[in-house]
A and B are shown apart, each in its own frame.
Chain A
Amino acid sequence: MHSEFVIFLFLALATIGGAGGVALSRNIFWSAMGLLSCLVGVGGLYVLLSADFVAITQVLVYIGGVLVLIIFAVMLTSQIQDINVSNRSMGLVGGCVIFLIVATMLSFVAIWAPWKLTDKAPVVDTTVAIGNGLLGTWLLPFEIVSVVLLATLIGAIVIARKEVKSDD
């Protein structure tokens, strides 16, 4: 149990540190690296929650897909540094006030709310259960999500194509 808690602390540090890097680093590339640390940490937390399939999906989709896409965008837009900005400190102060209010309020609610905890043991073989669920109970959302992905594909192509045409 104790080693589990140590691992949790480590993952929490990676997650929160990475998130802080995303929010506070002025260099957009270091923000992307912070996002990497944060996503890996969240994936580890999923493992601690005995959600192994979600953890693998997190690594595959977020780190292998979304993060690479974001780094591509960072490289292509070539605005590595946040320059300019006359009133940044004011914005940062206001943002930190919002952060403190939201984070403390949510933590307060999370700690003091009387959650009705279950005593069921976690599902061990989650891949089988999730596969059965996706083709049984959650068949309709599964199909809708596939339609959404198709729409995303077509939408991204349309956006990218229009920009090429306007160049001609």
Chain B
Amino acid sequence: MANLTLNHFLVIGALLFGFGLLAVVTRRNAVAVLMGIELILNAANLNLVAFGRYVAGGISGQVFGLFVIVLAAAEAAVGLAIILTIYQMLRNIDTSRTTTLKQ
């Protein structure tokens, strides 16, 4: 039990993914939904690095993880820019009320 194995990290990844999904499904605030997406990406990333360490060997998993981090940063930048624009236009970022794409 005291030895770390692949399963430990995969279970952490699964829980992280579940919480991310929970945030995306239940939260009404668009910024919180974006946080849930970040959690999901982190879960996938953790799985990539863990598989790279315990199954594939070498650094391929880590390189994939780096690419995922870069794309997550790009996604967060564009997503937050969109959310701020919506807030400027509608004064509201509740995902159940912002149902129009333009005024």
Contact = CB atoms under 8 A, between A and B. Distances in A.
Interface of A: 1-2, 4-5, 8, 12, 15-16, 19-20, 22-24, 28, 31-32, 35, 38-39, 42, 45-46, 48-51, 53-54, 57-58, 61-62, 65-66, 69-70, 72-74, 76-77, 79, 82, 84-85, 88, 91-92, 94-96, 98-100, 102-103, 106-107, 110-111, 115-118, 120, 122-123, 126, 129-130, 133-134, 138, 141, 145, 148-149, 152, 155-156, 159-160, 162-163, 166-167
Among B31, B34, B78, B84, residue most surrounded by chain A Cβ atoms (within 10 Å)? B31
A69 B79 CA distance: 10
Nearest to A111: B7
A23 B71 CA distance: 22
Given A98-B22, A145-B67, A22 B80 contact: no
A77 B93 contact: yes
Given A35-B39, A42-B42, A118-B55, A73 B31 contact: yes
Contact of B76 (A69, A159, A160): A69
B73 A15 contact: no
Contacts of B15: 16, 19, 103, 107
Given A118-B54, A130-B63, A107 B20 contact: no
Contacts of A123: 58-59
Contacts of B59: 123, 126, 129-130, 133
Nearest to B19: A19
If over half of B's interface residues share one DSSP class (helix, strand or loop), that class is named, otherwise mixed; here it is helix
Nearest to B76: A66
Nearest to A155: B78
Given A22-B32, A54-B62, A106-B18, A148 B74 contact: yes
B17 A42 contact: no
Given A46-B49, A117-B54, A28 B31 contact: yes
Contacts of A118: 54-57
Contacts of B76: 65-66, 69-70
